[in-house]
Structure 1
């Protein structure tokens, strides 16, 4: 008989109205949930997650909004990674990573997500799409070269 090992994870899923208020609430509720899981407010992981959620939720309510449909936030806390997923009802508008003009007032959200996340991407759903990002649970401290 072969022993089976499992990796413990913790999940949180919540739907929000596709409004600016819903996006703000998603960010606040997420950092509260992370704190309950032992990822304290103000930590690098909590702050990075808050920024990523703010950007992805703002995109969901601005570009992915379908009247009468909510957006969904899902957090999965694994031993080494926090995965953030924001799903909306529009599958026809894929997020693109483009450099905005220097004087543009918007368009840098996904650049921020890319800077904060170790990986991110987009997946299809039955209705709509899911934009996901992963951040490490623990800061990686670079060691100086041996010399």
Structure 2
């Protein structure tokens, strides 16, 4: 039993992870790696479909923050929020990436086939295809925006370790 009187394996109502990263390719890579570790600790194991999808979402949104939301001397913030379903059979994860550049607004390419030879510019198409929902909002505490994506991990039963 933990101090709240619940078994150690009980699922908290929600669990979150928030961290700021430098607005550089290294910062985006670190965001992906730390979020991957956190997901694994929450019971979404490395190599599972849910972990792979969420890792791609983190990677794409963090890369976009660095590529399109970069402002010299400003960081970007990643926030993961995990909500367990009442039946403890699925885990809903909301990912938010906040940058400080409000004039560069996200929009997926309207035609994924156009420019098929391009080597970039398809990140939001991946986000749109993989996420259950996604969108953006103006940043409430200053200039910039928050791009978010939500994904439900089906077949999830418990956190691997108490958080």
Q: TM-score range by the shorter chain?
A: 0.7 to 0.9
Measure the CA separation in 1 of the matches of 2:42 and 2:92. Answer: 13
Q: Deviations over 1:40-71 (max 9, x none)?
A: 11111111111011111111001100000000
Give matches, 1:64-103, under 5 Å. Answer: 64-79=69-84, 80-98=91-109, 99=111, 100-103=114-117
The one of 108, 111, 119 aligned to 2:122: 108
Indicate the SS of the match to 1:48: helix
Measure the CA separation in 2 of the matches of 1:49 and 1:31. Answer: 8
The structure, 1 or 2, with the larger RCO (C-alpha pairs under 8 Å, 6+ apart) is 2
Q: Deviations over 1:114-141 (max 9, x none)?
A: 11100000011132100000011216xx
Match of 1:138 in 2: 154
Q: Is 1:10–2:15 an aligned residue pair?
A: yes
Q: Is 1:56–2:77 an aligned residue pair?
A: no
Q: Is 1:127–2:161 an aligned residue pair?
A: no
CA-atom RMSD in angstroms: 1.2
Q: How many residues align?
A: 133
The one of 23, 42, 45 aligned to 2:47: 42
Question: 1:97 offset after TM fit, Å?
Answer: 1.1
Measure the CA separation in 2 of the matches of 1:42 and 1:68. Answer: 35
Structure 2 segments unaligned to the other structure (5+ residues): 1-11, 85-90, 156-163
Question: 1:103 offset after TM fit, Å?
Answer: 1.4
What's the TM-score, normalizing by structure 2? 0.78
Indicate the SS of the match to 2:154: coil
